[in-house]
A and B are shown apart, each in its own frame.
Chain A
Amino acid sequence: GAGVSQTPSNKVTEKGKYVELRCDPISGHTALYWYRQSLGQGPEFLIYFQGTGAADDSGLPNDRFFAVRPEGSVSTLKIQRTERGDSAVYLCASSSNSFTEQYFGPGTRLTVT
């Protein structure tokens, strides 16, 4: 079946603007994860959903970052008042259940100018 998809693939925004990044997980996967990857680094955990609820949001860097998954499928990562330091590739992954094998999407490259 289809893999994890993310939109947009690239997003350029000005400092201070609001952005939304979307993730469509593999159909039937109950767990969904958001990571952020800066150049030359490994992915860094942001938040994990089991179903509709955020089971662990300890990786969100501050209250400008928020994510939702209202129907237990598609998730949106929302960033308010973007800063240049938010520039990174935002990766989404899903798994059939919590803590089982994760499958990653292609990522959204966010550039804040």
Chain B
Amino acid sequence: GIQVEQSPPDLILQEGANSTLRCNFSDSVNNLQWFHQNPWGQLINLFYIPSGTKQNGRLSATTVATERYSLLYISSSQTTDSGVYFCAVADQFYFGTGTSLTVIP
């Protein structure tokens, strides 16, 4: 089956810093999503982005399907950004290993 790897596994940022999270996948995908799982366990949709670039406030994402990776950019991080970020190949029901982000004030 498809392999989905995320990096880095853990990240600690000072409030206000920027970061880039990466998702590599081993095969072509038709449906890639980014989620934020908050400390209470709720999975929150960030982006549905099979290809191209999207932006939503301080967050943006880019998927280069031909090179089999996606990037999530977080700018001017806030403590509320803390949690685990997952990319998911939703059409194959497969989640990556996650990046655990801690933003400290």
Contact = CB atoms under 8 A, between A and B. Distances in A.
Interface of A: 33, 35, 42-45, 48, 56, 59, 89, 91, 93, 95, 99-104, 106-107
Contacts of A33: 93
B95 A104 contact: no
B73 interface: no
Nearest to B30: A99
Contacts of A45: 93-94
A102 B33 contact: yes
Interface stretch (B11-19, B42-50, B55-63): B42-50
Interface in B84-105: 86, 88, 90-91, 93-98
Contacts, number: 47
A107 B41 contact: yes
Contacts of A43: 43, 86, 88, 95
Contacts of A104: 35, 42-43, 45
User: Interface centre among A42, A56, A103, by most B CB within 10 Å?
Assistant: A42
Contacts of A101: 31, 33, 45, 48, 90
A45 B33 CA distance: 15
A14 B10 CA distance: 35
